Chains A and B, each alone.
Chain A
Amino acid sequence: MNKERTLAESHLKIAVKRIKKDRLAVAGFCVICLFALIAILDSVPLPRRDVGGVKWTRTVLDSLFQKEVEKSYSPPLATSGVLNRKEFQLRSRHLLGTNNLGEDVLYNALKGVRTAFIIGIVPSVIAAFFAIIFGLLAGYYGGWIDDTIQYIYQVLSSIPGILLLIAMLMVMERGLWQLCVALGITSWVGLCRLIRGETLKVKNMEYVEAARALGANDLRLLFRHILPNVMYLIIIEMTLDFSSLVMSETVLTYINVGVEPGTGSWGQMIMTADRELPNGIWWNLTAASVFLFLLVLAFNLFADALRDALDPRLREA
């Protein structure tokens, strides 16, 4: 048992060492940590405050970055804005300007970080849950169980994902968590296929035979012995999926099936800002786009390095 653990550790250590060599991946990891910190700050609530009888729930991020609402647009760092051809004085300076409602753009963009992390992680967890259960069962038991599960994912993968998403989101109420569930249900098939294939390979290995000979039951074999050996697939898939999930939020929000207005998200920001560009109002759109781009790029760089480090098929090369 002890020896097993040291082996596993060294396995992890090798992976960490490989990633450390890739400077871009390390940079990506740092950016991810920074964004994650913002998301965490936005999830930690402060004690409720009573403002004129209305109870407010504020997070640490709110207390750090929330600014007074202005009357309308103002460019970054301006001291005055223009509304109906009349100039108005701003209450405070805004690093990235204000949007049409006079809200601070930097604050809105920072609020989008938490939403992005939820969209990037929760659907993957839901998808991984389905994929693990179905993939392990199909690969391990074979027979009619395998046939049924294969049939289910054959059907689901025949429906173009975007259409299934639209259909599901039209049937459900709109909201962040509904979006997560819909994205999770539409994205487990690929991983399930991988896990099934890997389980087929692993289940006939000697160590599984040995465990079975020692009297381990199916549950123990599946979750103690086979699952840890397909875990690398799940980790790789979850990091690779993060970027596409975050990007799909903006697209889905843009076509009116994503998160609701009022949920701070980059999709909402881009959606409200995209017609402002010809009027010379670039800061709102640019802020959302740059935040989105940085997070997605960081994750792409890190995920590639992680895959190269963890995937044994690539390691031989």
Chain B
Amino acid sequence: MLNYIIRRVLLAIPTVIGVCLVTFLLFNVFASPEAVARRQLGKNPTLAQVKTWVTVHGMDKPMFFNLNPGKDGRLHPFDSRFWNQMAELLLFRFPKSDYLHEKVSDLLKQKIGPSLTITIPAFLLSILITLPIALISAYYRGTYLDRFALLICVVLMSIVILNYIIFGQYLLAVVFKYFPIYGYEFGLGAWKFVLLPVILAVAAGLGGGVRFYRTVMLNEVRADYVRTAMAKGVSEERILFKHVLKNAMIPILTVTVLSIPFLITGSLLLEIYFGIPGMGNLMINAINNADYPVIRTLVYIYSLLYIGGSILTDISYTLVDPRVAFE
């Protein structure tokens, strides 16, 4: 078991380095430093402005190896863009934001809390709601009830998340005034600002979630152990809610990790609409102000989270299904 975990973590290291490489290539090779500077300095910057920007950001250094002697007359071959940026990311010495002039790591510390107050409740609530509906739909599979539920799911899936948010906010907060329209409060007072975004996030994910879990259940229903249990005379309810649900845990765990990117998009738009000062807020500011260091760091950190999440998922597979570790 421990062996498996160690191997799994070691295997992730090349992937992390690969992610660093991709971000480096994106922001250094595909766009020239001058172009980046111009984008950030706004309309018609002078040549001198561009030059200072490039020097301040260390973008005038050679790409991979610095073969020019430094100020002290000695050679610093690793004082190049590539090695500096790799060190920034791998050693967690995150750069400063170009727009907010704060360290990205400090910004993250401020912003992660409000984001989590939406994404975690939304995530748990959506599992609590979608899983039972999927089970019921799978139990009544093939009936009109099941077909109707599936059709509703497809309809719900066809509505873009923007519409859930715009119409939801308008109806529930503006017209009926059940919730505050906009704003956030740190601490326990956050709940009333968070409630509506959480409800909308759950609603937006409902259709896709129910359909996915139903498919997972139905794939399991065809397995041999279900037939055996049937032959033994176990009731259908017991088979479905006990045997099948347990075996469906692996795909469900997978989707838990796979939904991390969705949590980002979801919270990104929700935070813009409801004025929540979280990661989405940070991201949208970075986009609008061409704040490349922030985006670069966010790409890296979210990828780390994703990789970490998939390691955890793989480990939890071994808890659910001991055969996995031996494969």
Contact = CB atoms under 8 A, between A and B. Distances in A.
Interface in B104-161: 151, 154-155, 157-161
Interface in A152-203: 152, 154-156, 158-164, 166-168, 170-172
What bracket does the count of chain A residues touching chain B fall in?
A: 35 or more
B46 interface: no
A160 B154 contact: no
Contacts of A221: none
Interface in B7-31: 14-15, 18-19, 21-23, 26-27, 30-31
B306 A159 contact: yes
B290 A296 contact: no
Contacts of A250: 160, 162
A289 interface: yes
Given A171-B27, A297-B155, A162 B268 contact: yes
A308 B168 CA distance: 34
Contacts of B26: 167-168, 171
Given A155-B15, A243-B158, A293-B158, A254 B269 contact: yes
Interface stretch (A84-92, A96-104, A270-278): A270-278
Interface string B287-319: 110101001101100110011001000000000
A255 B267 CA distance: 12
Contacts of B320: none
In this complex, which of B31, B163, B261, B303 has the most chain A Cβ atoms within 10 angstroms of its Cβ? B163
A162 B295 CA distance: 11
Contact of B303 (A151, A159, A300): A159
A167 B284 contact: no
Contacts of B39: 170
Contact of A251 (B162, B166, B170, B303): B162
Contacts of B15: 151, 154-155, 158
A247 B269 CA distance: 13
A292 interface: yes
Contacts of A251: 160-162, 265, 269
A317 interface: yes
Given A162-B264, A251-B162, A289-B163, A167 B295 contact: yes
A202 B296 CA distance: 41
Contacts of A285: 166
Interface in A117-165: 151-152, 154-156, 158-164
A154 B163 CA distance: 33
- Interface residue SS majority, chain A: helix
A118 to B, nearest CB: 17
A44 B162 CA distance: 32
B306 A255 contact: no
Contacts of A247: 160-161
A167 B22 CA distance: 11
A61 interface: no
Contacts of B264: 160, 162-163
Contacts, number: 121
Given A158-B19, A158-B307, A163-B302, A296 B166 contact: no
B302 A160 contact: yes
A24 interface: yes
B287 A256 contact: yes
A166 B283 contact: yes
Interface in A288-317: 289, 292-293, 296-297, 300-301, 304, 317
Contacts of A304: 154
A254 B280 CA distance: 13
Contacts of B151: 24
Contacts of A301: 154
Contacts of A234: none
Interface string B268-283: 1100100000000001
A173 to B, nearest CB: 9
A236 interface: no
B219 to A, nearest CB: 9
Nearest to A160: B261
Nearest to B29: A171
A243 B156 CA distance: 13
A251 B264 CA distance: 12
A113 B303 CA distance: 34
A183 B81 CA distance: 28
Given A170-B287, A251-B162, A151 B14 contact: yes
Given A159-B22, A162-B265, 8 more contacts: A151-B18, A158-B18, A160-B264, A164-B299, A170-B290, A247-B161, A270-B166, A292-B163
15 contacts: A154-B15, A155-B19, A159-B19, A160-B260, A160-B306, A163-B264, A164-B299, A167-B26, A167-B295, A167-B296, A171-B31, A172-B31, A254-B269, A270-B166, A304-B154
The 6 A-B residue pairs with the shortest CB-CB distance in the complex, in nearest-first order: A155-B18, A160-B261, A297-B158, A296-B158, A171-B31, A247-B160
Interface of A: 24, 151-152, 154-156, 158-164, 166-168, 170-172, 243, 247, 250-251, 254-257, 270, 274, 277-278, 285, 289, 292-293, 296-297, 300-301, 304, 317
